[in-house]
Amino acid sequence: MEQGKIVTKPNLKKRIFAGLIDYVLMFSMLYIMFAYFGERTPKGYELKGFPALATTLIWGLYMIGFELKFGGTLGNLMFDLQVISIRDTNSTSLSFGQSFKRHLLDIIDLCFFGLIGIVLIKNTKYNQRLGDLWAKTIVIDSTDNRQFYKRFV
């Protein structure tokens, strides 16, 4: 990857709102699963068996599936954000592994109400969260012609 081939901006407001949309959808799904399939225990509600597995499958289909098919989750697409691979290959399309890595570390980025993710986005060279750094991805605003990754220059 050569210098000057990648130009990004934090797009912080868009990324925060996109993340809020995605995680409101995810937590709503989780709430519904607990309400209909959860078992009451002395410590609260618990999901077991297929309902517990289903929440993980739904998370994966939504977060990873949308990124692989459309270049971003529903929240990202609503705010014209696109996730792009910056690995040294001939494609900017994400791989399953890259999308999985990005979202596996969401829990760390979201700690302290997203503060870790915000600090990283504002202070990394290409405005990347922890998952983006690990997966070698960037997030750009697809409507801003000044943000890009020139793979073939």
The pLDDT of residue 109 is: 85
pLDDT of the residue at 3: 43
Buried b (16+ CB within 10 A) or exposed e, 46-82: ebeeeeeeebeebbeebbbebbbeebbbebbbebebb
Q: Residue 1: its pLDDT value, please?
A: 43
Cβ neighbors of 56 (< 8 A, separation 6 or more) are none
Cα(122)–Cα(102) distance, integer angstroms: 17
Residue 35, judged by CB atoms within 10 A of its CB (0-12, 13-18, 19+), counts as exposed
Is the pLDDT confidence value at 2 over 80?
Answer: no
Mean pLDDT of the chain: 92
Whole-structure pTM over 0.85, yes or no?
yes
- Give first-to-last CA distance, the chain, whole Å: 11
Residue count of the chain: 153
Domain coordinates in residue numbering, the chain: 6-149
- For residues 17-36, average pLDDT: 95
Is 55:113 a contact under the CB 8 Å cutoff?
no
Residue 113 vs residue 67, higher pLDDT: 67
* DSSP classification of residue 41: E
Confidence of residue 151 (pLDDT cuts 50, 70, 90): low
Q: How far apart are CA 73 and CA 116, in angstroms?
A: 20
Residue 122's pLDDT is what?
97
pLDDT tens, position by position, 69-93: 999 999 999 999 999 999 877 788 9
